[in-house]
A and B are shown apart, each in its own frame.
Chain A
Amino acid sequence: MTQLPPSSAKKLGLVIDLDTCVGCHACVVSCKGWNTENYGAPLSDQNAYSGAASGTFLNRVHSYEVQPEQGTAQLIHFPKSCLHCEDAPCVTVCPTGASYKRVEDGIVLVNESDCIGCGLCAWACPYGARELDAKEGVMKKCTLCVDRIYNENLPEEDRQPACVRTCPAGARHFGDLGDPDSDVSQLVAERGGFDLMPEQGTKPVNKYLPPRPKDVEPQIDILAPYLEPVAQDGAGFAHWLDKALSALPGGAK
Chain B
Amino acid sequence: MSLDQPQLDTSPKVSDEVRKTTCYMCACRCGINVHMKGGKVAYIEGNKDHPVNRGVLCAKGSAGIMQHNAPSRLRAPLKRVGPRGSGEFEKISWEEALTIATDWLVPIRAEAPEKLAFFTGRDQSQSFTSFWAQGFGTPNYAAHGGFCSVNMAAAGIYTMGGAFWEFGQPDWDHTKLFMLFGVAEDHDSNPIKMGIGKIKARGARMIGVNPIRTGYNAVADDWVGITPGTDGQFILALIHCLMKAGKVDLDYLARFTNASVLVNEDPKSDQFGLFLRDADGQPQVIDRRTGALAPWNGKGVEPDLAATHRAKGVTHRPVFHLMADRYLSDDYAPEAVAESCGISAKRIRAIAADLARVAFDEAIELDRQWTDFRGKKHEKMVGRPVSFHAMRGISAHSNGFQTCRALHVLQIILGSVEVPGGMRFKPPYPKPATAHPKPHGKVTPGAALDGPHLGYTHGPEDLLIDADGKPTRIDKAYSWENPMSAHGLMHMVISNAHAGDPYKIDTLFMYMANMSWNSSMNVGGVMKMLTDKGEDGEYVIPHIIYSDAYSSEMVAYADLILPDTTYLERHDCISLLDRPICEADGVADAIRWPVVEPDRDVRGFQSVLCDLGGRLGLPGFVNDDGSQKYADYADYITNHIRRPGIGPLAGFRNADGSGKGRGDVNPDQLQAYIDNGGFWIEHVPENATYYKPFSKDYQNWAVKMGFYDVEQPYIFQLYVEPLRKFQAAAEGIGTRQPPEHLRGRIKVTMDPLPIWYPPFEDGHVDPVEYPIHALTQRPMAMYHSWGTQNAWLRQIHGHNPLYVPTKVWEANGFADGDWAKVTSAHGSIVVPVAHQASLNENTVWTWNAIGKRKGAWALGEDASEATKGFLLNHLIHELLPPKGDGLRWANSDPITGQAAWFDLRVKIEKSAVPNEAQPALPPIKSPVGKGPDELDWKVGE
**Which residues of A does B touch, CB under 8 Å?**
1-3, 5, 17, 19-26, 28-30, 32-34, 36-38, 41-55, 57, 63, 65, 67, 72-77, 94, 96-97, 100, 102-103, 109, 111, 113-114, 135-136, 146-147, 149-154, 157-158, 162, 165-171, 211-212, 214-218, 220, 222-223, 226-230, 234, 237-238, 240-242, 244-245, 248-251, 253
Q: Are A168 and B58 touching (Cβ within 8 A)?
A: yes
Residues of chain A contacted by B780 (CB below 8 angstroms): 22-26
Q: Is B562 an interface residue (CB 8 A)?
A: no
Q: Given the complex, which residues of A lie within 8 Å of B860, measured CB to CB?
A: 47, 49-51
Bound Cα distance from A241 to B248, whole angstroms? 11
Contact partner of A135 (CB less than 8 A), chosen from B241, B353, B934, is: B934
CB distance from A131 to the nearest CB of B (A): 12
CB–CB B859/A49 < 8 A: yes
**Is B577 an interface position by the 8 A CB rule?**
no
Residues of chain A contacted by B281 (CB below 8 angstroms)? none
A151, B221: Cβ atoms closer than 8 Å: no
Q: How far is the CB of A167 from chain B (nearest CB, A)?
A: 6
A230 vs B836: C-alpha distance when bound (angstroms): 43
Known A-B contacts A20-B200, A37-B42, A151-B14; A166 and B931 likewise in contact (beta carbons under 8 Å): no
Q: Is the CB of B304 within 8 A of A45?
A: no
Check B402 for interface membership: any CB of A closer than 8 A: no
CB-CB nearest in chain A for B8: A146
User: In the assembled complex, how far is the CB of residue B808 from the closest CB belonging to chain A, in whole angstroms?
Assistant: 14
Instruction: Give complex CA distance A65, B835 in Å.
Output: 10
Residue pair B56, A26 in contact (C-beta under 8 Å) = yes
Q: Which residue of A lies closest to B356 (CB)?
A: A226
Is there an interface contact between A44 and B328, defined as CB atoms closer than 8 Å?
Answer: no
Inter-chain pairs besides A1-B1, A25-B58, A42-B937, 12 sampled, C-beta below 8 Å: A22-B219, A25-B796, A30-B59, A41-B936, A44-B936, A48-B934, A50-B931, A73-B213, A168-B190, A215-B221, A227-B352, A230-B244
Residues of B within 8 A of A241 (CB): 250, 305-306, 320, 324
Assuming A25-B59, A153-B11, A241-B306, is B935 touching A251 (CB within 8 A)?
Answer: no
| 0/1 string, B914-941, CB within 8 A of A gives 1 | 0000000000000000111111111110
Contact across chains for B245 and A227 when beta carbons are under 8 A apart: yes
Q: What 10 A-B pairs are tightest by C-beta distance, nearest first?
A: A50-B860, A49-B931, A73-B837, A168-B193, A170-B197, A169-B197, A97-B1, A226-B353, A73-B838, A230-B246
Q: What separation, in Å, do the CA atoms of A43 and B198 have in the docked complex?
A: 33
| Contact across chains for B193 and A45 when beta carbons are under 8 A apart | no
A166 touching B934, Cβ below 8 Å? no
The answer for the CA separation of A100 and B7 in the assembled complex, in Å, is 12
- In the bound complex, CA of A193 to CA of B839 (Å): 29
Q: A5-B3, A227-B241, A250-B302 are in contact. Are A245 and B254 (CB under 8 A)?
A: yes
B-side interface mostly = loop
- Could you give, for residues 694-736 of chain B, a 1 whenever the CB lies within 8 Å of some chain A CB and a 0 otherwise? 0000000000000000000000000000000000000000000
Q: Within 8 Å CB of B789, what residues of A? A: 49
Question: Does A48 lie within 8 Å of B353, measured CB to CB?
Answer: no
Contact among B6, B62, B65, B219 with A19 in the assembled complex (CB-CB below 8 Å) = B219
Any chain A CB within 8 A of the CB of B9?
yes
* Contact partner, A238, options B14, B221, B324, Cβ 8 Å: B324
Q: Is the CB of B377 closer than 8 A to any CB of chain A?
A: no
Q: B65: which A residues are within 8 A, CB to CB? A: 33
Among B44-52, B410-418, B500-508, B524-532, the stretch that binds chain A is B44-52
Q: Is the interface of A mostly helix, strand, loop or mixed?
A: loop
A214-B222, A226-B247 known; A166-B57 Cβ under 8 A: yes
A227 touches B932 (CB 8 A): no
Which residues of the partner chain A approach B320 to less than 8 Å between Cβ atoms?
A: 241
Are B862 and A50 within 8 A (Cβ)?
yes
Contact for B864 among A52, A94, A103, CB less than 8 A? A52
What's the nearest-Cβ distance from chain B to residue A10, in Å?
14
Interface positions of B from 17 to 68, Cβ below 8 Å from A: 37, 42-46, 48, 53, 55-63, 65
Q: In whole angstroms, how far apart are the Cα atoms of A253 and B307 in the complex?
A: 11
Q: Is B798 positioned at the interface, with any CB of A under 8 Å from its CB? A: yes
- Given A97-B2, A248-B250 in contact, is the A50-B200 Cβ separation under 8 Å? no
Contacts of B95 in A (CB 8 A): none
Determine whether B346 belongs to the interface, using a CB cutoff of 8 Å to chain A: yes
**17 pairs of residues in contact across A and B, judged by CB atoms under 8 Å:** A24-B58, A24-B193, A25-B58, A30-B57, A34-B43, A50-B863, A52-B799, A73-B836, A73-B837, A100-B5, A151-B11, A153-B13, A211-B219, A214-B221, A218-B350, A222-B350, A226-B356
Q: How far is the CA of A237 from the CA of B247 in the complex (A)?
A: 12
Q: Which residue of A lies closest to B782 (CB)?
A: A25
> A73-B838, A147-B9 are known contacts. Are A166 and B46 too (CB-CB below 8 A)?
yes
Residues on B with C-beta less than 8 A from A234 are: 324-325, 328
- Most B CB within 10 A of own CB, among A41, A48, A152, A218: A48
Q: In the docked arrangement, what's the CA distance between A21 and B219, Å? A: 7
A214-B241 Cα distance, complex, nearest whole Å: 24
Chain B minimum-CB-distance residue to A76: B218
Contact A49 B353 (CB under 8 A): no
Judged by a CB distance under 8 angstroms, whether B71 is at the interface is yes
Q: How far is the CA of A162 from the CA of B45 in the complex (A)?
A: 9
B201 interface contact, C-beta 8 A: yes
Contact A20/B219 with A50-B860, A162-B45, A166-B62 known, Cβ cut-off 8 Å = yes
**Known interface pairs A75-B213, A100-B5, A248-B251. Does A22 touch B933 (Cβ–Cβ under 8 Å)?**
no
Are A38's CB and B12's CB within 8 A? yes
In Å, the complex CA distance between A157 and B10 comes to 16
On whether the beta carbons of A33 and B44 are closer than 8 Å, the reply is yes
Given contacts A48-B935, A136-B936, A245-B305, contact A26 B3 (CB under 8 A): no
B596 lies within 8 A of chain A by Cβ: no
Q: Which of A36, A77, A94 has the most CB of B within 10 A?
A: A36
A136: B residues at CB distance < 8 A: 936
B685 contacts the other chain (CB 8 A): no
Residues on A with C-beta less than 8 A from B799 are: 52
The complex places the Cα of A33 from the Cα of B790 at a distance, in Å, of 13
Bound form: Cα–Cα A168–B189 in Å? 9
B795 A218 Cβ-Cβ under 8 A: no
Chain A neighbourhood of B791, CB < 8 A: 45, 48-49, 53, 55
Q: Whole-angstrom distance from the CB of B381 to the nearest CB of chain A?
A: 15
**Choice from A49, A153, A169, A214 contacting B12 with Cβ under 8 Å:** A153
Residue B220 interfacial (CB < 8 Å): yes
A28 touches B59 (CB 8 A): yes
Give the distance to chain B from A244, nearest Cβ to Cβ, in Å: 6
- Determine if A22 and B196 form an interchain contact, defined as CB atoms under 8 angstroms apart: yes
Residues of chain A lying within 8 A (CB to CB) of residue B356: 226-227
What residues of B have a CB within 8 angstroms of the CB of A53 in the complex? 791, 794-795, 798, 864
Contact partners of B328 in chain A: CB under 8 A: 234, 237
Q: Please report the C-alpha to C-alpha distance between residue A106 and residue B799 in the assembled complex, in whole angstroms.
A: 39
Query: CB distance A214 to B223 under 8 Å?
Result: yes
Contacts of A242 in B (CB 8 A): 306
Q: Which residues of B contact A228 (CB under 8 A)?
A: 245
Query: A54 touches which one: B242, B354, B795 (CB < 8 A)?
Result: B795
Question: Which of A44, A73, A216 counts the most B-chain CB atoms under 10 A from its CB?
Answer: A73
B190 and A36 within 8 A (CB)? no
Known contacts A49-B858, A51-B863; A227 and B349 CB within 8 A of each other: yes
Query: Is B438 in contact with chain A by the CB < 8 A criterion?
Result: no
Determine whether B288 belongs to the interface, using a CB cutoff of 8 Å to chain A. yes
Nearest B residue to A250, CB-CB: B302
- Assembly CA distance A63 to B59 (angstroms): 16
Residue numbers in A under 8 Å from B14 (CB-CB): 151, 153-154
Cβ contact of A222, chosen from B11, B222, B346, cutoff 8 A: B346
A1-B1, A3-B3, A214-B221 given; A48·B933 CB < 8 A: yes
Decide: B11 and A227 in contact? CB cutoff 8 A.
no
A222 to B623 CA separation, bound complex (whole angstroms): 70
Asked if B862 and A51 make an inter-chain contact with CB atoms under 8 angstroms apart, the answer reads yes
Cβ of B225 < 8 Å from any Cβ of A? yes
Q: Would A226 and B245 be within 8 Å (CB), given that A22-B215, A25-B781, A153-B14 are in contact?
A: yes
Which residues of B lie under 8 Å from residue A152 when comparing CB positions? 11
